[in-house]
Chains A and B, each alone.
Chain A
Amino acid sequence: MKDICEAPGVSGYEEYVAKIVRAAFCAHVDEVRQDRMGNVVFLKRGSDSGGRRPRILLAAHLDEIGLMVTKIEEGGFLRFSAVGGIDPRTVVGQEVILYGREKLSGVIGVKPPHLTPADELSKGHKMEDLHIDVALTEESARKLVAVGDLALIRRELIQLAGSTVAAKAMDDRAGLAVLLSCLQELERLRHAADVYAVATVQEEVGVRGAAMATYGVVPDIGIAVDVTHAEMPGVLEHEACKLGKGPGITVGPNIHPKISEEIIRVAKEYRLPYQLEAFPGPTGTDARAIQVTRGGIPTGLLSIPLRYMHTSVELLDMDDLKLSGRLLAYFIAGVDSAFVEGLSCC
């Protein structure tokens, strides 16, 4: 978990983290391939012989939100914009790693408070007010940094109380951890279906990788694993899941009702805790793209409760990951051709 969270992988530049995921997954699968977009597709074959085995696609995204240099200012200060959704107010005062011609250490700075008029102090910083300071002269900065270079907030995984941890990029490296734990569980279970576990690219910039991956795999069922909001200050109880109480099983138009019903049935059968998450439209996850690929794919979504999404201290309970992996594996073990056939008639 520490390795995959600390690995860099801004949307569109997932190669490094893809390698780490590949190394971790390959012992548990039969085949690995990478498609043109960069999605890494791991195949674990099912046990059914004769006829076409059901295909289940699991998707968790590799990419994380990050920063991109837009201008080298006088004095060597770097202006930047966000790749993915970032609250500028959460990046002020952060240490960053800038991936220039070499790896550079820097700080996200802003005009100091003593130079800020009193009425501005109550306003949040805007991205255009901020700069990355790599403590270089302008001349050196121009040699080592170019417009388009990426930067990430420097953050080691933090072990908190009990099984709680905080890190950057938990969204959605946590989902990848669930996929891995599911593949491990499947080694001791009999499953008819072929499982295509896919580490997808470019989710944060518009769920792009998952669409291409789904098109390529042509699954009978697609399940996305992503993070969802856990309770935190300023959020109403019904807007959020609880930490440590198992994955959220999403219901709503993005989700095939028979899939959510079956996941719930499996959870009850194996006495695995879960929470229901109702979402009234296309979700902001790979499930959004999977559902409308080709002629339509029956789709499900498992969500890991997480606090402070899209900050560098995304916080979750590791127990929820284990529970999610197990639930997903038991669901997969129960899928046969009859279940798949039942999905296309309403």
Chain B
Amino acid sequence: MLLKRLSEASGASGDEGEVRSLLKEELSLHVEEVTTDALGNLYLKKGFGRKPRVMVAAHMDEVGLMVVGYEKSGLLRVVKVGSIDDRVLASKVVSIGKDRIAGVIGAKAVHLQKPDERTKAIDINNLYIDLGVRSQEEAEKLVKIGDYATFTAKVREAGDNCLIGKAFDNRAGCAVLAELLKEDFDLELNAVFTVQEEVGLRGAGVAAYSIHPDVALVIETTAAADVVGSKEAAYVTKLGDGPALTLMDSTYMAPQQILDLVAETAEKLAIPYQFRRLTTAGTDAGIISQTHAGILSAVISIPCRYIHSPASIINLDDWQNTLRLARGILNAIAEGGLRLEGTA
């Protein structure tokens, strides 16, 4: 299962090489051209010269940690790459650098904590990666400053047609885009597996500049906060309710004709969908839509519980329905469903 291999690959922002190789290997035979750029974006092209020119983007990078220093004891000091709640880090296993060195993030034993200590969050300044070495010299031999660390969860089936794993944001989106590339659409398909989304949408902008598409579709993974203790109004999305359409976030507003096309496509194909009910955070569409003189962009997302944490949950029906919806959107665009010129 490609999604399993993608999820288990290690690829924090700036270190997407493993994911890139995996996708290249899996998809090269299905496309007409494979290229990369100076930042590491992977471009796969199909239907050369057809109209319209469509960009479909999914980011390869995941949130993680970066080694920034050593303690004399050989423990590693780390900072976060992308947005992670410090409170999910204690007592986890990580994999570090190209050699996938194993490390653990420890926490002071509960027996030795004072009562007031127990009420505070353990922030990243009090967390270290422990390689099991006894000195800085030993640590330096295994791990370099700047090495990336990622979580290590394996993909597992769980519950009612769900998967547990790490980095579903956005390897689940990558897996959808990979499936689309195995199909044929009557348009020029420019698939881009982008880099550095989690640290500020850095890869997608240059990709959109290079491709200069007529329209862009971003396939993402978004928070599902439909858990006990959270009010329905704060769910953002609900697991199992289908792909989520973005109306607005911190970086982007959906053009009306895009919303109409996506919603009508879903309804025509009887695909369940929901709106993403949060107006903050952002996706690659934020930067793509503002490239050149503006690019018409759409975002559809797979709902994911416990996103940006060591173990998250997605629903496979949602994943399938996101694939179906993306396929439907591309077909609708191919059939001329969008007005691509600016209005006079």
Q: Cβ of A50 < 8 Å from any Cβ of B?
A: no
Q: Cβ of B146 < 8 Å from any Cβ of A?
A: no
Which one of B40-48, B58-66, B304-312 is at the interface?
Answer: B304-312
| Size of A's binding interface in residues, CB under 8 A | 68
Bound-state CA distance A62–B306 (Å) is: 33
Which one of B90-98, B183-191, B192-200 is at the interface?
Answer: B90-98
Choose from A87, A136, A234 the contact partner of B118 (Cβ within 8 Å): A87
- A161 with B126: in contact, given A74-B228, A133-B227, A312-B91 (CB under 8 Å)? no
B255 CB, min distance to chain A CBs, angstroms? 25
Q: Cβ of A73 < 8 Å from any Cβ of B?
A: yes
Choose from B103, B112, B309 the contact partner of A93 (Cβ within 8 Å): B309
If over half of A's interface residues share one DSSP class (helix, strand or loop), that class is named, otherwise mixed; here it is loop
User: Binary interface profile of B, 118-152, with partner A (CB < 8 Å = 1, else 0)?
Assistant: 11111100101011111000100010000000000
Chain A residue contacts of B234, Cβ below 8 A: 115
Chain B residue contacts of A122, Cβ below 8 A: 120-121, 123
Please state if B104 and A111 are interface contacts (CB–CB under 8 Å): no
Please state if A129 and B133 are interface contacts (CB–CB under 8 Å): no
Bound-state CA distance A243–B131 (Å) is: 13
Please state if B159 and A134 are interface contacts (CB–CB under 8 Å): yes
User: Binary interface profile of A, 113-125, with partner B (CB < 8 Å = 1, else 0)?
Assistant: 1110000011111
A99 CB, min distance to chain B CBs, angstroms? 15
Chain A residue contacts of B85, Cβ below 8 A: 113, 121
- A136 with B159: in contact, given A107-B311, A109-B305, A244-B134 (CB under 8 Å)? yes
Please state if B107 and A111 are interface contacts (CB–CB under 8 Å): no
Please state if A233 and B128 are interface contacts (CB–CB under 8 Å): yes
Chain B residue contacts of A87, Cβ below 8 A: 90, 107, 110, 113, 118
- A160 with B132: in contact, given A122-B121, A311-B106 (CB under 8 Å)? yes
Residues of B within 8 A of A (CB): 71, 73, 75, 85, 87-93, 102-113, 118-123, 126, 128, 130-134, 138, 142, 153, 156-160, 162, 164, 223, 225-230, 234, 236, 239, 278, 280-281, 305-307, 309-313, 315
The 5 closest A-B pairs by CB, nearest first: A135-B159, A160-B132, A164-B132, A93-B88, A135-B162
26 interchain pairs (CB within 8 A)?
A87-B113, A89-B122, A93-B306, A95-B311, A105-B156, A107-B305, A107-B312, A109-B227, A109-B306, A114-B223, A114-B278, A121-B85, A136-B159, A160-B132, A161-B142, A164-B132, A235-B109, A235-B112, A308-B107, A308-B108, A310-B110, A313-B91, A315-B104, A315-B106, A315-B130, A315-B132
Residues of A within 8 A of B (CB): 73-75, 77, 79, 85-87, 89-95, 104-107, 109-115, 121-125, 129, 131, 133-137, 140, 153, 155, 158-162, 164-166, 229, 231-235, 239, 243-244, 284, 307-313, 315, 317
